[in-house]
A and B are shown apart, each in its own frame.
Chain A
């Protein structure tokens, strides 16, 4: 069996060079979820060694429908670095990804650390501001096909994110309508309520799950709470714009 560090190098190189790889679980069916989080930590450590800085965390599989698709009952998480932050309104280069998709999200930024089992009220008290966001997800596995340990090892498909204008932490984001358009045509319609019924629950889960890995959410961290609709595939030439009820809109262009 390849060492965890060896696997971390494989997934990190796949992401760095936008080269698809076979599923890890094909050749190593005994890979566990704990192994996968260890691989994720080692692979992100490689990014840090190249100079990337910590930016926060992302949550995934935050709807029952997605959990059912993968056959799990728990959300997953990944790590964000500053190199994944994309400039809102600017160009996304398709060639830097394997098969990128976009999904609308809610972003929190923290003013205080959060660690372990916290209540929704405690989580909210640690929030500095909330913003509309879009995440670029890009599985490094061929055909976007993976088992749970594969996706976790692959940093939960995280590859980029856009954050719109920040609104006060007290903004009610429990059930905001979302309209995602490509070239002015609707491609996804949904609500932030799709994120575990209320996105704040995702922040609570983030504090608990990250603590299980011996880390904590820090002041200044951004937490992407999870996709609010199905993800939409990106191709060059698209203009993608997502409008959130009362939070405003954000957009980007896709080029080759």
Chain B
């Protein structure tokens, strides 16, 4: 069952075409990783699915309103404590005050931040803020989670911790996820399907196994982090 259906979506900013007739489906419990060079519209795709951007043409169908997003820069409200930030995500759910409190601590515990519940975001490091952003996104028991570079800036151990939990959400709780990342380790550990976005189009799609062994010049250049290849020379042009 598709929880996300993106069909022929086109989006431009100031006459610059960012997404060019993109189509992508994500099923219940599936985790799709979208990769590609910076500025090719990966985050825009997530924002469109989250309802934060409108499309110029095409159709986006999201089968549930239980959508959550992990933002690239964590996007925590600075005038609210860590606990209050997470509580915002629980506001529209039928929890008692005590249940909310428990849920907040439970989610902070998952990310190893339970003792920071009364801290303000500017008292935390970048990595800690990112983890609070993750805790906030999962607190509301979403059916879809959109991750915008969830592990960038985290150390390898914390990255693994977050990735394991992302896998648990897809596997155990059947959450549909789209992850935008540049981290090859995250692709390896979490992806069930990988899509390479380039020049507004998905130019390659396959399993992580196929992705890392692909002979496609674009994929190869991305996986091997090579400077010489079609991506760099075309961007220079």
Are A and B subunits of one complex?
A: no
List residues of B whose CB falls within 8 A of some A CB.
none
List residues of A whose CB falls within 8 A of some B CB.
none
